Amino acid sequence: MIKVGVLGAKGRMGSQVCATVDEAADMELVAGVDVGDAREELAAADVVVDFTSPAAVMDNLRWCVERDLAAVVGTSGFGDTKLTEVRSWLAARPDGRVLVVPNFSVGAVLMMRFAEMAAPFFESAEVIELHHAGKVDAPSGTAGRTAAMISSARRAAGTGPMPDATTTAAQGARGAEVDDVHVHSVRLAGLVAHQEVLFGGHGEVLTIRHDSLDRASFMPGVLAAVRGMAGLPAGLTVGLEGLLGLA
């Protein structure tokens, strides 16, 4: 039995993770912690899953790392600065394990991989991510990671800068620039989590689109992450690719 604790247990994702863990035959939910609850309840867990907020996650994560509690992080907002900080905490804890997963949906992981494969072959690439109106951060962690993967694949292939003749633009009109890739964020009631990656070349456009239609789409990935934690090397791992055999 894998003992699982959940941070953000009353949230949209956390509550679904609690229910999914409860139903998994090889897991036991030992603690569901939200704002105002004592984190000490998590000490009995083999794996702690965090779905809180970008503002809260670092304090939670540090608390877990200091106790050698393996942590699976779904909370978004992990850029290089936060990842470097987590690595520095883990350097002092040789048995510590943290897995940061920008997107637990298998379809989204494949979308990112396909985007990485396509990136060197096209002059232009832009990302449009679309989420429910309750999302507090923009762009999404998935969009940030997709942009980073596109950019690094282009660099490795020696692809030059993208053509863009824009000289004047209203603020935000060209989106955010993440690793030299323009990322546009839509926030709309009714949506869940969606992303399009657009590639443009000579007389052709390739669109790669993924839609999470229900938060249930993230649960197989969360379960795979919890089950895979014990087999991961110590330290920080980013992304689900390794656990899905895609690394």
Ligand X SMILES: NC(=O)c1ccc[n+]([C@@H]2O[C@H](COP(=O)([O-])OP(=O)(O)OC[C@H]3O[C@@H](n4cnc5c(N)ncnc54)[C@H](O)[C@@H]3O)[C@@H](O)[C@H]2O)c1
* Contact stretch for ligand X (CB under 6 A) within 29-37, 63-71, 89-97, 183-191: 29-37
**Helices vs. strands in the chain: H and E counts, helices first:** 6, 11
- Residue 107's identity, in one-letter code, is G
- Write down the catalytic residue from 3, 10, 82, 135: 135
Q: How is residue 145 written in tokens?
A: 């990671």
Quick one: which of 5, 27, 51, 146 contacts ligand X (CB under 6 A)? 51
The correct pick among 18, 30, 101, 183 for binding ligand X (CB under 6 A) is 101
Q: Confirm or reject binding of residue 195 to ligand X (CB under 6 A).
A: no
CB 30, CB 4: distance < 8 Å? yes
User: Quick check: 218 binds ligand X (CB under 6 A)?
Assistant: yes
Catalytic annotation present for 184: no
Q: Does 216 bind ligand X (CB under 6 A)?
A: no
* CB crowding 145-182: b at 16 or more within 10 Å, else e: bbbbbbbebbeeeebeeeeeeeeeeeeeeebbebbebb
Catalytic residue from among 131, 184, 194, 210: 131
Which member of 2, 65, 103, 225 binds ligand X (CB under 6 A)? 103
- Give the range of 9-17, 143-151, 163-171, 178-186 binding ligand X by CB under 6 A: 9-17
Give yes or no: 131 in active site: yes
Minimal CB distance to ligand X: which residue? 11
Nearest residue (CB) to ligand X, 76 versus 146: 76
Give the residue from 52, 107, 47 showing the smallest Cα distance to 71. 47
Instruction: Rank residues 33 and 69 by Cβ distance to ligand X and give the closer one.
Output: 33
- Write down the residue that tokens 């507090």 correspond to: 136
- Joined together, the tokens standing for residue 25 give 């035959």
Near ligand X by CB under 6 A: residue from 1, 35, 133, 213:
35
Regarding 33 and contact with ligand X (CB under 6 A), the answer is yes
Q: Is 11 one of the binding residues for ligand X (CB under 6 A)?
A: yes
Query: How many whole angstroms separate alpha carbon 224 and alpha carbon 106?
Result: 10
The Cα 11–Cα 77 span in angstroms is 17
Q: Is 239 one of the binding residues for ligand X (CB under 6 A)?
A: no
How far apart are the C-alpha atoms of 45 and 74, rounded to whole Å? 17
Size of the site for ligand X (CB under 6 A): 25
Asked if residue 211 binds ligand X (CB under 6 A), the reply is no
Dist CA 49 CA 42 (whole Å): 10
Q: Residue 127 forms beta bridges with which residues?
A: 183, 197
By C-beta, is 53 or 124 nearer to ligand X?
53
* Dihedral class, residue 136 (left if φ above 0, else alpha if ψ from -120 to 50, else beta): alpha
Catalytic residues: 131, 135
Q: What is the contact surface with ligand X in residues (CB under 6 A)? A: 7-8, 10-14, 33-35, 51-54, 56, 60, 74-76, 101-104, 135, 218
